Amino acid sequence: MKTHYYLGWFNNFFPEHLGRVLQEDITDRKSLAMISSNPSVYKEIGATERSWLDQAGIIFDDYHLINYHVQKENAQKIIQNASVIFLLGGDTIKQNGFLMEYELSDSIKKSNAVVMGASAGAINMSAKWLCSQKFGYKVEENYVYDGIGLDDFSILSHFDLENNIALVQNELSILSEGINIYASNKDCAIRTKGDKIDIFGKVYLISHSKIQRMDETL
């Protein structure tokens, strides 16, 4: 049974309860593979996300950061041997391009590792996502990107929903006619375990242009 975590962003650390759930799910801690969202940069990338795991007591034997400093073939091997794969937050578009260029998506989908993504990483784990100027992207026209497709839904992660519900509902209306969209703010998580979807924090479902807040189940 495959387990995926779509995370928002945590200014401090994982809330205690979420940390306990992660500890229960992450039993194999041999290797953590982190996939950069700014693969041309090496310094400090992934330090924040790693600190969340460290604080929760989830420590690995080996840590790997996948970016342009790693050869494509080696990146594939790291993914294949990983206990946990963590797609880091940051630049969604750059990360998406890197995943395609290094042909990592199929390897991630085939892996039995726990797969996690924060903010940009969570968005790229999903099946499709909308790149829109209204969501902070520097683009002139909206464009729908293909993500890895670990689960058959779309993600809008780490967005100020409370003050922009109408904007989000309107902007995602067309996409929501063909695919369910889960939208979350900071300090939130969506976990899929097999066919089951669990919710932590304030998460909204947008489907067929209608929006509703989901009940917490984690």
CA distance 67 to 75: 8
pLDDT confidence tier of residue 42, bands split at 50, 70 and 90: confident
Decide: residue 180, CB within 10 A, 0-12 exposed, 13-18 middle, 19+ buried.
middle
Q: Domain 3-213: give its CATH architecture.
A: 3-Layer(aba) Sandwich (3.40)
Residue 205 Ramachandran class (φ > 0 left, ψ -120 to 50 alpha, else beta):
beta
Query: Could you state, in order of their start, the residue ranges of all structural domains in the chain?
Result: 3-213
pLDDT in tens, 179-201: 999 999 889 999 999 999 999 99
Contact 87, 126 (CB under 8 A): no
Residue that is written with structure tokens 């998460």 in the block: 203
Contact 159, 130 (CB under 8 A): no
> Model pTM?
0.96
* Token pair recorded at residue 97: 């391009």
pLDDT confidence tier of residue 12, bands split at 50, 70 and 90: confident
pLDDT in tens, 67-90: 999 999 999 999 999 999 999 999
